[in-house]
Amino acid sequence: MNAEVVVEVGGAASLSMRQIEAVAHRRAQVRVSGAARKRVQAMREAAETATASSEETVYGLNTGFGSNFRDRVTDLTSLQRNLIRSHCTGVGPLAPAEVVRATMLMRAASLARGCSIVRPEVIDKLVELLNKDIVPAVPRFGSVSASGDLAPLSHIAAVLMGEGRVMVDGAAMPTGDFLSKAEARGAPAFEPIVLQMKEGLALNNGCQYANAWTALAASKMQRLIEAAALTTALSVQATRGMGRPFRADLHALRPHPGAQTVARWVYALLEDYSFQDIPGREKAAYDGRIQDPYNLRCAAQILGPCLDLIQRAQTTVEIEANSVTDNPIDLNTAPENYDPDLITSGGHFHGMPLAVEAYGLLQAAGIMARLTNMRCARIVDKNRNSGLGPQVRGAAPEDEAGKNAYAIRSGLMILEYTTAGLCNQIWGLASPSHLMSLSTDSGQEDHVSMAANVAIRADEAADRLAEALAIEMAFALQAGEVRRREPNAWGDKRAIEVGKYMQAALNKIEQEFSPVVEDRELSWDVMKLAEAVLSGEIVDSVREAFARH
């Protein structure tokens, strides 16, 4: 945990994508704004005073929940405790710790805005668990993301109460056992709190769980769209394509922002490459082609909308992270002249804004996966790979019997199959769940968003896309090795200059994946390279080219 970096919630503070990711991955501490604590305390006291002296029923404060909203309740502590207990209904494998941490951060931020009628202690407890890295165990599935992510958020709230389970070495340990073991060591982990009026409902209404998945998926996809621009440049170079389709003056004539940005990235990455900007007729004289196939020539037009979708998702994540999303919401702006009638039931817990953007990430992943698969299919084809030979093996030497020595080797052949499988897997993940609403709670909650389901699959799709892009990078590395080994093989008519950024990227790729000379197992090298792709490590080796746009 990096104690030097502090993310503040409440007051004038606003969460950014970078801060969400930093807290999720334990790179930052969290604190509550002093001004926020004062406002939260004042509004809570005003709400308690106003509702105690009123005979009116106020949803969530002195009534039951959901379809039980007509029932007035006086035992408010039991009401909140039972709400959390009964809503701990998630199933399946545990959500990753970074997802749970991001969820807790954004829930604290929402409550710290002072419109949720909770005591400051509730926010403090969430922040305490974050800073101590005590992570509630949250089963992954079971949310419909309206009314919020009820089950996942309840699993988090249960731990605040000293109930539920926490993650210990990747497994779920009952919170009571966890606290007992800590106490036996003489170092109490934390002091549970007793939830009071409205606080259970404030903790489990909202879509922070869906937003956490979306935020982390969007962060991955931002790195992967840059990696896709890099693989585009690598494949242009590997297959002797042209850089002219990425000229800024060309894209100024159809100025879609995403396409312009991707084109600038690719064009900068191709600096010093022999065919970066030569006329088509000169290129045609070299290999007979006047145009590249769409997977190269239209890459900016294909990847540009993907970048737009990713940036839209990031914008929505930040809006959501800095919003009040529980129900009901206190619309009083100051404790003076407090009016309980301004405690308003609305629909800010509905996750459709997130579902739409998480699905945009799935669309982007599906488009990007097919593009990289198409290039891999081309580069293993000796008839279309500009002299790289079958399966990117170069010219075929003869063995002692005068036969093709490569006949007993498959080289990178099956990695192309792997990209097809990954592409199909991503397409399978791209079910539009947000279009498939199912009514819940006796029809009271009759349109739900399924945002968490969409976002969970978007995150998985990003992981599979990283593997596909890693394979394309491996092909580019192999192509470079063949060109280096056999500079005049397969009819090359001139020396080809490799771009300086391309060489830097290839050098970095080779640290994770060695060129294939003899057949070997490739899975582990690909997965190692995919980790470097997903972390941004490969793109960072040529970050200067991206910064220049």
pLDDT at 291: 82
User: In the structure, what pLDDT confidence band is assigned to residue 125 with cuts at 50, 70 and 90?
Assistant: very high
Whether the pLDDT of residue 251 is over 50: the answer is yes
DSSP characters for 499-547?
Answer: PHHHHHHHHHHHTTSPPPSS----HHHHHHHHHHHHHTHHHHTTHHHHH
User: In the structure, what pLDDT confidence band is assigned to residue 358 with cuts at 50, 70 and 90?
Assistant: very high
pLDDT at 2: 57
Number of neighbours of residue 444 by Cβ within 10 angstroms: 13
Element (H, E) at 171: strand 171-174
pLDDT at 516: 86
Element (H, E) at 173: strand 171-174
Of 18-27, 63-72, 471-480, 539-548, the least confident: 63-72
Q: Which residue has the higher pLDDT, 82 or 413?
A: 82
Separation CA 250–CA 263 (nearest Å):
9
pLDDT per residue as tens digits for the range 290-321:
788 999 999 999 999 999 999 999 999 999 99
Q: Provide Rg for the chain, Cα atoms.
A: 28
Whether the pLDDT of residue 432 is over 50: the answer is yes
Of 53-57, 258-262, 379-383, the least confident: 53-57
Q: Are 121 and 160 in contact, with CB atoms under 8 Å apart?
A: no
pLDDT at 435: 73
Q: What region does 326 belong to: left with phi over 0, alpha with psi -120 to 50, or beta?
A: beta
pLDDT per residue as tens digits for the range 133-166:
999 999 999 999 888 899 999 999 999 999 999 9
pLDDT at 382: 80
pLDDT at 490: 45
DSSP characters for 452-512?
Answer: HHHHHHHHHHHHHHHHHHHHHHHHHHHHHHHHHH-TTGGG--S--PPPHHHHHHHHHHHTT
Mean pLDDT of 49-78: 80
Phi/psi for 291 (5° steps) reads -140, 145
pLDDT at 454: 95
Q: Are 302 and 258 in contact, with CB atoms under 8 Å apart?
A: no
Separation CA 334–CA 46 (nearest Å):
9
pLDDT per residue as tens digits for the range 478-500:
988 887 776 655 455 556 778 89
Average pLDDT, the chain: 90
Whether the pLDDT of residue 444 is over 70: the answer is no
Residue found under tokens 């545990």: 94
Whether the pLDDT of residue 188 is over 90: the answer is no
Mean pLDDT of 164-192: 94
Kindly give, in sequence order, each residue whose CB lies less than 8 Å from that of residue 58, ignoring residues fewer than 6 positions away: 51, 328, 340, 343
> Would you give the distance in Å from CA 344 to the centre of its chain?
33
Q: 355 vs 153, 309, 500, 531, CA distance in Å?
A: 17, 13, 41, 27
H-type alpha helices, 272-402 = 280-287, 294-297, 299-321, 352-379
Angle between helical axes of 17-24 and 299-321 (0-180°, round to 10):
80
Length of the chain: 549
Q: Are 346 and 328 in contact, with CB atoms under 8 Å apart?
A: yes
pLDDT per residue as tens digits for the range 217-247:
999 999 999 999 999 999 999 888 999 999 9
Residue found under tokens 């890295």: 133
User: In the structure, what pLDDT confidence band is assigned to residue 393 with cuts at 50, 70 and 90?
Assistant: confident
Q: 362 vs 92, 321, 425, 433, 469, CA distance in Å?
A: 22, 21, 11, 11, 16
Separation CA 52–CA 158 (nearest Å):
27
Whether the pLDDT of residue 503 is over 80: the answer is yes
User: In the structure, what pLDDT confidence band is assigned to residue 443 with cuts at 50, 70 and 90?
Assistant: low
Whether the pLDDT of residue 16 is over 90: the answer is yes
Q: Are 84 and 200 in contact, with CB atoms under 8 Å apart?
A: yes
Separation CA 210–CA 456 (nearest Å):
8
CA-based max dimension of the chain: 100
